[in-house]
Amino acid sequence: MKLTEFSEIWGVVGPQQNRTKCPEYRAYNAYKSLKIAIEKGIEGDVVELGVWKGGISALFGRLCEDEGKGRVAWAFDSFQGMSECNEHDMAEGEDAVRLAREPGVQLHNFDLNDFNHTCFDLMKLKTSCVRAVPGWVNDTLPRYAPQIKAISVLRVDLDWHEPTLDAFNYLYDKVSPGGYVICDDFGYWKGARKAILDFRNARGIEDPIIQTPNIDGSPLPDIKVGTEHYWIKS
């Protein structure tokens, strides 16, 4: 992978610009996954669910634009804050829902204008490369999923059990063989992990789940710190 290219993108959308909550190693995993998909000719758009101010969506959009073959980065988010959590939505180590209800977790400090600023003012993308879908995913996925024919990278960052399960129910079958399925919240939020594991069990999915490593390939110390996991669809 071209670390210089990634570093250039990271300089635009990284934490110093307050455009993403992802640490550098998770942003690099998003970059690497799409780069590999492009290089291998894996068909399909990129779909991210839970995008905050759009840093990772802008990264995806940049690679789609540079490829120049009409691949689109879809960005699903309420653009108004977090959805309601339920009884499954505990942090790793909790036995009851507490942290999920804390004001610091319940982000509301963003809107569609922030997303557009990231993608079109800072990253200077063409509007044809990124498509934002505002609204709760239980409302938007039934309407917009049929418009997505294939997916090369599916990145799910919805925190809670119900929206995570909705994402997989509506979109997983569209992921192309060899495509990447990235689960940002797998290690930290038990509800998201339960949704993912229940879905995999129900569908008989046996593709190995891989914890996203540091950029240098070294492992993260535990499942909570190294929350992001992914697999490659067989």
Which residue ranges make up each domain of the chain?
3-232
Integer Cα distance of 101 and 192 in angstroms: 15
What is the value of pTM for the model shown?
0.97
Q: Residues 212, 226: contact at Cβ < 8 Å? A: yes
CATH code, residues 3-232: 3.40.50.150
Show pLDDT as tens, one digit a residue, over the chain (234 residues). Answer: 567 999 999 999 987 778 999 999 999 999 999 999 999 999 999 999 999 999 999 999 999 999 999 999 999 999 999 999 999 999 999 999 999 999 888 888 899 999 999 999 999 999 999 999 999 999 999 999 999 999 999 999 999 999 999 999 999 999 999 999 999 999 999 999 999 999 999 999 999 999 999 999 999 999 999 999 999 999
Integer Cα distance of 200 and 198 in angstroms: 5
Cα separation values, 133 from 8, 158, 185, 190, Å? 27, 14, 21, 26
